[in-house]
Copies of this chain bind each other. A is one copy, B any other.
């Protein structure tokens, strides 16, 4: 069967979603895609562009997952809106993205090519999704969505390093969550 970027990317994405980006080297990636490192280089040119295209593909996967989760009804309050997105993020199919996410943020900070753009695209998409969920009668939907966004990402990071309780108490004190 003919190989191509398009047929390879889904299998490569599945592999990094399971095993992370850090240790993603050509031979394991190739094995996961049912081919050889030789062919990965042939189809992508080199590893750097492979990773760049892979991150772009994963960003699209993430968009698709958010689209699939997009209920057509808005939330009634900011509290409900926050509760919804937190529930969305705790779904198992989103967990893989979460684990990968910090690899991407670290890469973006260090300036590794492709990481920053993919991360920005994923956050932009999440912001759009969040704005669509904001209550219809919210006095400031744009600002409110960005406010929720900042709290959510903060809570996410604190949870990642064992300060989930800190984040929870922060949400409570903000009035965005109820005990």
A41 interface residue per 8 A CB criterion: no
Q: Quick one: which of B110, B150, B162 contacts A171, CB cutoff 8 A?
A: B150
Q: Is there an interface contact between A109 and B120, defined as CB atoms closer than 8 Å?
A: no
Shortest Cβ distance from residue A75 to the other chain B in the assembled complex, whole angstroms: 16
Interface: A119 (CB within 8 A)? yes
Q: How far is the CB of A170 from chain B (nearest CB, A)?
A: 4
Closest to A168 in B: B146
Q: Which of A28-36, A49-57, A65-73, A151-159 contacts B (4 or more CB under 8 A)?
A: A151-159
Q: Quote the shortest CB–CB distance from A154 to chain B (angstroms).
A: 3
List B contacts of A149 (CB < 8 A).
154, 158, 166, 170
Residues on A lying within 8 angstroms of B by beta carbon are: 20, 22, 98-99, 102-106, 108-110, 116, 119-120, 123-124, 127, 140, 142-144, 146-158, 160-163, 166-167, 169-174
Bound form: Cα–Cα A166–B116 in Å: 15
B123 touches A163 (CB 8 A): yes
